[in-house]
Amino acid sequence: MGDLTHHLADFHHAYLRDELPRIEDFLSQLGARHVNRHPQLRSLREIFAAFRDELTRSMIQEEEVLFPLIRGLESSEASVSLRRGLDSSRQLLPQHGNTAKILARMRALSEGFTAPEDADVEYHVLYGSLALLGNEIRRLLHEEDGMLFPRAISAATTRLEDTRWRRFGRWISPS
Ligand SMILES: [Fe+2]
């Protein structure tokens, strides 16, 4: 699990930190030029800002709190930390559900990131970037929600049970 947290932060999160502001700037510039003919660009820009905020908040929480706790699951850590890690994992899951919903709204608004017939080259490049970002987010959510968090919750639950078992063991021991 430790390797996976480093991979998520160093590869997926690093990609998002470069790509989110780049796409947002691009969306603002393109929106300013084409919003009269393509009003959906304004809505897309607003939704994208919420998407960026959500992802940025989630990445900070994961890198500063959750990932270190998950790495701690593989070493000997106090049960209080393990419990916090478990709770954090559970709290993060609905946020990712929201990320997927916002992505679906952007996809619907842009008809699957298909540029209109009269779109210029930059419009096509923007939608191409959004489509790639969507694929990247799907991979990220699969690795976090589908792999890392269930493993962390399972490991934390086991460790908590171990701790209780050890306490129980001490309680019944004759010494
Ligand atoms: Fe995440």
Contacts by 145-150 with C-beta closer than 8 Å and gap 24+? 145/93, 145/96, 147/4, 148/1, 148/4, 148/5, 148/8, 148/70, 149/89, 149/92, 149/93
- 87-99 pLDDT, tens digit each: 666 666 666 888 8
Residue 153 CA to residue 158 CA, distance in Å, equals 9
Say whether pTM exceeds 0.85: no
In a domain, 28, yes or no: yes
How much distance in Å is there from the Cα of 48 to the middle of ligand 1?
17
What's the token pair of residue 64?
């500063």
Q: How many domains does the chain have?
A: 1
Parent domain of 125: 2-168
What's the token pair of residue 119?
């779109």
What's the token pair of residue 31?
């929106």
Tens digit of each residue's pLDDT, the chain (175 residues): 889 999 999 999 999 999 999 999 999 998 888 888 888 899 999 999 999 999 999 999 889 888 888 887 776 554 555 666 666 666 666 668 888 899 999 999 999 999 989 888 999 999 999 999 999 999 999 999 889 988 887 777 777 666 655 554 555 444 4
Residue 8 CA to residue 6 CA, distance in Å, equals 5
- 136-155 pLDDT, tens digit each: 999 999 999 889 988 887 77
In a domain, 175, yes or no: no
In a domain, 105, yes or no: yes
How much distance in Å is there from the Cα of 123 to the middle of ligand 1?
28
How much distance in Å is there from the Cα of 58 to the middle of ligand 1?
6
For residues 48-79, one letter each, b for 16 or more C-beta atoms within 10 angstroms of the residue's C-beta and e for the rest, the string is beebbebbeebbeebeeebbebbbbbeeebee
Mean pLDDT of the chain: 83
In a domain, 87, yes or no: yes
In a domain, 173, yes or no: no
Shortest CA distance to 41 belongs to which of 21, 52, 33?
Answer: 33
How much distance in Å is there from the Cα of 170 to the middle of ligand 1?
39
In a domain, 69, yes or no: yes
How much distance in Å is there from the Cα of 153 to the middle of ligand 1?
15
In a domain, 82, yes or no: yes
